[in-house]
Amino acid sequence: MNFDKWTVVLAAAGIVSLPSLARAEEKPASVLTALSSTTLSGYVDTSAQWNFGTGDANPPPYRFGGSSKADGFNLDVVQLRLDKPLDDSEQWAAGYRVDLWMGPDANALGTQSVFGNNSFASQSDFAIRQAYVKLRLPIGNGIVWKAGVFDSLIGYESVESPLDPNYTRSYGNSIEPQTHTGIVASYDFTDLISASFGVADTVGPIINDRAQSGAAGFASGPLAPLFNRFGLTAVPGSDRQAESYKSYMGAIAVTAPQSMGFLAGSTLYGGIVNGFNNSFLGSGAGDKQTSYYAGATVATPISDLRLGAAFDYLDAGSTELQFGAIPVNVNLDELWSVAGYASYQLTKNLSVHGRLEYFKGGIDASVPGLPGSIPVRERILAATATLQYDLWNNVISRLEFRWDHSLTGNPLFGGTVTGVPTLDNAYMLAANIIYQF
């Protein structure tokens, strides 16, 4: 059975179980198309949450969370994948992949291109997560190209929930770009060193977006509560770039060889994404930004224990917002996260996964013509513990406890009014059941 190298790395890190993936991949469903090798797969992701205390107007602002999932049962997302992988026996091999999302998380993904950023598109419950043509160019070890819509090159956690060690996402994942429209090339220099480089329209995620459009998006990202609290809104079209402006990205992965003993299979990652984002971090306005990522998956002398680490830094630049009719210049700075991961396989079907993260974000707001600025800093410590038990074939079942704590002493969570938090701590207990087919 063949797994792609990223799946093997995730398995080595204890993030995903190869036996469960094997059960899901042993019987791919053939699809009646012009290409008999096209397969259909996907998953159904459901959850239930109990958010301790009362008032869910200001939940912790991590990706794919939010008030709509608090204190109730949820359909998170349904993914359908049509896939024609590259044929290893062909030098000039070609294939494609289409990942379709249906459900509330499709709105949070935010790739909808119809009607741009308006409220209808953002609430359609449908999104294209990925849709690309894949080509192998037989130069050297073979250059593999993807053209279309594809996941970002950087990040420890995946957009695809079954591949993640925890049910909820990290803040580092939440400040990373997630989807691009463009072209990317990947090359394996050796079995141990690989790299990718790509060019896209924007940092994303809106499909077919353009840097020159300067469209304002909705305040729904990780720092949206911060902007909402101060009544700051976007100025549509205030940030535009030249028609030729594009986004660029690169990543490299280095894997430890067998000669390194118990560290064999450990992998170091690094990557950069630079470009224009039409609605970064929920500000509702766009600007140039640069994301830096460094991460590692580490094997240990204990065969069932795997460790990981991730560092994300976002240079988000500055933008123009409004406080009522008053223009406000906002500089987004010090946006970074550092996280540690640990996974331990207790039995064949039972595993535990932990994540500890420190996140720092802030803004400096000033009014043109007036001296001085108003600095606002947010610092959050988040601890997540996940128990996973694979009782049924093809099913991932998780129980997760998460604690988010404000380190500034300022309330960041809870309350019944958006932008008016009342609590320093947010506690959540969640159950997550995913069926993979």
Tell me the C-alpha distance between 122 and 202, whole Å: 18
- Spacing of C-alpha 34 from chain mean position: 33
Give the C-alpha distances (Å, rounded to integers) separating 220 from 110, 122, 209. Answer: 10, 11, 18
CATH of domain 5-436: 2.40.160.10
Q: What share of the chain is helix, strand, coil (3-state, %, to 5)?
A: 10, 50, 40
Residue in 62, 334, 85 with CA at minimum distance from that of residue 178: 62
Which H/E stretch holds residue 225? helix 224-229
Tens of pLDDT, residues 14-26: 444 444 444 444 4
Strands 29-30 and 318-323: unpaired
Separation between Cα atoms, residue 30 and residue 38, nearest integer Å? 6
Pick out the chain residues at pLDDT < 70.
Answer: 1-36, 114-123, 214-239, 279-286, 319, 324, 332-333, 363-366, 368-376
C-beta of residue 98 within 8 angstroms of C-beta of residue 81: yes
Q: Among 74, 73, 68, which Cα is nearest to 56's? A: 68
Domain ranges for the chain: 5-436
For position 204, what pLDDT does the model report?
A: 79
Q: pLDDT digit string (tens) for 229-285?
A: 666 666 655 567 788 899 999 999 999 999 999 999 999 999 999 998 876 655 556
Q: Which tokens sit at 170?
A: 């990290």
pTM score, two decimals? 0.85
CB atoms under 10 Å from CB of 297, counted, come to: 26
Percent of residues, the chain, with pLDDT higher than 70: 77
Please, what is the end-to-end C-alpha distance for the chain in angstroms?
A: 17
d(CA 200, CA 152): 10
Name the E strands within 60-140.
72-84, 94-102, 126-137
Q: Can you point out the beta strands (E) in 346-394?
A: 350-366, 374-389
358: Cα separation from own chain's centroid: 17
